[in-house]
Amino acid sequence: AVRAAHSLLVCLTVLTSGSQAAVAAQARQKSVLVLYAVPRDAQLAVVGDREMSRLLGAAPPDGIDYYSEYMDVARLAQSDYQTSFHEFLELKYEQRRFDAVIAMGDMPLTFVSRFRDNLFAGTPIVFFATGEAHPQVSNATGIVATPDLSGTLDLASQLQPDLEQVFVVSGAKDTETERIARAQFAPFAQRLAISYLSGLPARELEARLATLPARSAAYYLVVNRDGDNRNFNPLDYLDRIA
């Protein structure tokens, strides 16, 4: 999160320093809105919000008027949620003109591309995305960083040469993270038996993990929600199953 905040600050500086709107608005304090895909208490938001506001606040002489919102898309996946969230932002910030919007994640970037003309017309966008199929947004710059899940599994194989089976823990079934894992882990299938413990209720998942066979490893992706649609803090749940 800290590295992402530093990198996004560079992108934001490049994007706004050459814009005529930024030059014309030197006399007033700049304002920035950050949209997170995760809930407010997620580690990315806790660390990112702290570092983002610190770095941005230290840039201009008068600091930054800093705002952040949290979409919590893992728990709020209703099809009409984005429309309701758009209406909330429209009401909350109807008197506010942002100098930049930072989209922290694929869903915030998709949201911005969908509602930009209404909410952020003409505002520069800085984004952090994890997939190459992210929306193409005008007057925008950002970072695309696909998680290197296969590198971790390769390291596990080197540290445990007799490894035979891997049990991948991903909470709710068919999440974006699980889809990335399945694609990246496919080359390992010739030498490892890989099972995906997804879509299970927490109690059943924990029972499976408590009885893993010898020469196996548990690969924890993330558990925001289990197969019974119960919600969890991913880091707290990692402690629980460990």
Q: Tens of pLDDT along 129-178?
A: 887 667 788 899 999 888 899 999 999 999 999 999 999 998 888 887 88
The runs of H, that is alpha helices, within 120-162 are 149-159
Q: What percent of the chain has pLDDT over 70?
A: 87
Rounded CA-CA distance 230/242 in Å is: 19
Q: Is the pTM of this model over 0.85?
A: no
Helix, strand and coil content of the chain, in percent to the nearest 5, comes to: 45, 20, 35
Give CA–CA dist 91/118, Å, rounded.
12
Alpha helices in 30-174 (DSSP H): 43-57, 81-92, 106-119, 149-159
Q: Is pLDDT of 88 > 90?
A: yes
The span from the CA of 73 to the CA of 38, in Å, is 6
- What are the φ and ψ backbone dihedral angles of 28, each rounded to 5 degrees? -110, 160
Please answer whether residues 197 and 225 qualify as being in contact, where contact means their C-beta atoms are separated by less than 8 angstroms. Answer: no
Q: If you count them, how many residues does the chain have?
A: 242
